[in-house]
């Protein structure tokens, strides 16, 4: 395995994505909700929310897809930012979008990803990307987060 992103670069990517989200979304303070896709996406969503809080002193709600399915939060007029660690083919993101739409129609759905490795099978693009990592189909990107793996890093294998 080859380390392609270290802890400092990973933190920098999250901060940059947080700034881009704030700059892109006017009046975001009352309208933004982060939804983490899977456990790692939830961790990244929480880190993005913390980064925005550090910059702007604003608390952004963070939900999981399970929360969305169980509680059916009011999402009308909300900007939903789906957050995931890696996007490749697009099927997981498409499924996540469908879960959000099953409870209502938000103002917008955006996508924030830590790593975009290409190889789409669906026409889905991310609004916010930490790093583009072109890979062959036989290569894999592994995102390690300290909450799960005791380190923040990204490996290519």
pLDDT value at position 8? 98
Rounded Cα gap, residues 99 and 41, in angstroms: 15
pLDDT value at position 97? 96
Q: What angle do CA 126, 86, 43 make, to 5 degrees?
A: 100
Q: What angle do CA 148, 85, 152 make, to 5 degrees?
A: 45
Among 156, 113, 119, smallest CA distance to 21 is for 113
Rounded Cα gap, residues 44 and 138, in angstroms: 26
Q: Please report how many Cα atoms fall inside a 13 Å half-sphere around the Cα of residue 143, on the Cβ side.
A: 23
| Core vs surface per residue 33-42: b (16+ CB within 10 A) or e | bbbbbeebbb
Q: List beta partners, residue 112.
A: 83, 128
Residue for token pair 């189909």:
137
pLDDT value at position 135? 92
CB 60 within 8 A of CB 91: no
Domains of the chain, each with CATH number or no CATH: 7-133 (3.40.50.2020)
pLDDT value at position 140? 93
pLDDT value at position 70? 81
pLDDT value at position 39? 94
Q: Note down pLDDT in tens along the chain; length 157 residues.
A: 999 999 999 999 999 999 999 999 987 888 999 999 999 999 999 999 999 999 999 999 999 988 887 877 888 899 999 999 999 999 999 999 999 999 999 999 999 999 999 999 999 999 999 999 999 989 999 999 999 999 999 999 9
């Amino acid at each position: 395995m080859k380390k392609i992103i270290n802890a400092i670069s990973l933190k920098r990517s999250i901060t940059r994505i947080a700034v881009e989200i704030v700059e892109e979304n006017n009046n975001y303070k009352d309208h933004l909700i982060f939804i983490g896709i899977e456990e790692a996406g939830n961790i990244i969503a929480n880190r993005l929310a913390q980064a925005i809080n550090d910059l702007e002193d604003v608390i952004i709600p963070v939900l999981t897809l399970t929360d969305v399915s169980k509680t059916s939060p009011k999402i009308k007029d909300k900007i939903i930012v789906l957050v995931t660690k890696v996007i490749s083919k697009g099927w997981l993101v498409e499924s996540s979008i469908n879960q959000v739409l099953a409870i209502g129609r938000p103002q917008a759905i955006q996508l924030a990803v830590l790593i975009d490795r290409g190889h789409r099978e669906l026409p889905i693009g991310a609004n916010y990307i930490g790093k583009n990592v072109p890979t062959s189909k036989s290569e894999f990107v592994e995102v390690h987060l300290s909450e799960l793996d005791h380190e923040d890093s990204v490996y290519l294998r």
